[in-house]
Amino acid sequence: MTREGPLLETLTRRLTETPPEFLADTTETLAVVNDLLRMQGATSVSPLLDVLVGDGSPDAQNRGKLARVFAWLFADGWFVSARIDVLPAILSASAELAPLVAANKAVASADRREELARLALSKLDLRPQGESEALAKDRLVALSTAERARVLAASRAAEERARKIREELARKAAQEAADKASRE
Amino acid sequence: MSRADPTDEERYPLLSDVGRRMLQHLREHASAPIFRNQSGNRLTAADLERVVAFEQETKDAWPRWREGEEPEWIASFVAHALEAVPHYQGYGREPGSALTTLPTISRADLSLDIARFVPDDVAIDRLIHFTTSGTTGHPLMVASHPTVAASYLALHKKALRHFGVELRAGAGEVGVVLVGFQHRTFTYVSVTPQMGESGLAKINLVLDDWNEPSDRER
C-alpha cells in the first residue's frame, strides 16, 4: 500500500453499480476478464487466465463471479489510464474470497463492497486516495473476511489444543508424574 | 496396577540393564521401606541431551547483571511467552515488550485454566502433571515437562558445589536419596540417566512406611 490510488468512494459506488450480467451464472468469466485486459492494452490472451476455467463446483462458480466483479471494478477509468497489470490482483483476490463470501452478497453489502475495494487496491500495493498507509491497512484488516476467518480458525484450533491438553493432563493425573527432586 | 498405570518403558524410556538392576536393587533391598508410589524420569534421548546441556550451562554461568538491570535471558523469554503461550498471546503485545509492562498473574489464573499456560510449541503427549501440596491454597494442577523436573538436579548440584560438595555417583550406585518425615508423602524409586542411571529414592521416615522400624537405620 505504498502508493496512492483512486478515491475509495469512487470504487464502492462503482461496485453498487455492478451490472447484473456480471453476477449471472451464465456469464463467461474468461471473456469478461480478457475484455478488460484488452481495454488496458493487452494484445494477446494471458496464459494465467487458465486458472479461471472452473470445474463447475460452487466454489469455482463463486470465484468466477468474484473475478468478474473485480474485472468490473478495475474497468474504472483510474486503473485503465494507469495501465497497471491487474490480472494477478484479480486472480489472487478472487481466490482469497471465493471460499469465504458469495459474490452476490459481497456486492450487496456496504461493508463487503468496501472490503472488495480495499482488497483490490491492496493487491496492487495501492491505498485509497487521502489515506495513510497505516489507516488503510487497519481498515482492511478490520473489514477482512479472510482475516475474520483466520482469527476464527485460529481460535478454534487454540480451543481444540487446550481441550487436548486438559484431557492429557487428566489422563496423566491418573498416573504418577515424573521424578522431581523437590517433591514434597 | 490400574489400566492407567504407565509401563516401565514409558516411565524410563532410556532404561538400560544397569538401570534395571538398580531399580530392582532399590525395590527389593532387604531393608527397603514400603514405596507408596511409582515414578520415572520419562526422559527421551533428546530430552537427556537438553538436560545435560542445561547442566553444563548452569555449571558455568554466574549472574552477570547488575542491580537495576534485567538478566539477559528475560527479553527472549518474554518474547517467547508473548508469541507462544495462549494466555500471554491474549495480551496482544508486541514480542519486544518489557517484562515490567506486563500485567502480573495470580494463582487464580493458573487454577482457572492451566492449558492456557502451555506453550504452543510443546508436544501434548510429552506433558506431565504435578499437583501442588495446597500449603498456600487449594491444590493446583500444574502442567510440566520431563526436562523441567530433570533440570532441578543441575541447580541442586550447583548449590552443593557452592558448599564444596560434588555429586559423583554413577552407574551401580545410589546417587540421591530424598528423606522426609511426614505423616504422608510421595515415596518411590527411580534412576537418573544424567548420572549413569544411579539410583534415586524418595523415602519417608514415618514408622508406617517401614516393615521394621530398625530398617530405617540400615
Q: Are A106 and A176 in a shared domain?
A: no
Between chains, do A176 and B115 touch, taking CB under 8 Å as contact?
no
- From B51's Cα to the closest Cα of chain A, the distance in A is 14
CA distance A69 to A18: 7
Q: Are A61 and A21 in a shared domain?
A: yes
Q: Are A76 and A104 in a shared domain?
A: yes
Q: Are A121 and A137 in a shared domain?
A: yes
* Beta strand segments in B28-135, E: 128-131
Residues of B in contact with A184 (CB under 8 A): 133, 180, 182, 185-186
Between chains, do B150 and A164 touch, taking CB under 8 Å as contact?
no
Q: Are A116 and A31 in a shared domain?
A: yes
Give the residue from A113, A93, A87 showing the smallest Cα distance to A33: A87
- Which residues are registered as beta bridge partners of B124? none
Q: Are A77 and A157 in a shared domain?
A: no
* Most confidently predicted of A46-50, A144-148, B200-204: B200-204
Residue A55 has pLDDT above 70, yes or no: yes
Q: Are A37 and A11 in a shared domain?
A: yes
Amino acid at B1: M
Selected residue of B130, B200, B202 to mutate for chain A interface (largest A Cβ count, 10 A)? B130
Q: Are A77 and A38 in a shared domain?
A: yes
Q: How many CB pairs under 8 A join A and B?
A: 88
Average pLDDT estimate for B155-183: 91
- Which residues are registered as beta bridge partners of B190? B200
pLDDT interval class at B18 (50, 70, 90): very high
Q: Are A123 and A155 in a shared domain?
A: no
Q: Are A29 and A45 in a shared domain?
A: yes
Q: Are A136 and A156 in a shared domain?
A: no
Q: A35 or A54, which is more confident?
A: A35
Does the CB of A161 have a partner CB in chain B at under 8 Å? yes
Q: The domain containing residue A166 runs over which residues? A: 145-184
Q: Are A126 and A170 in a shared domain?
A: no
Does the CB of A150 have a partner CB in chain B at under 8 Å? no
Element (H, E) at A93: helix A87-97
- State how many domains chain A has: 2
Q: Give chain B's length.
A: 218
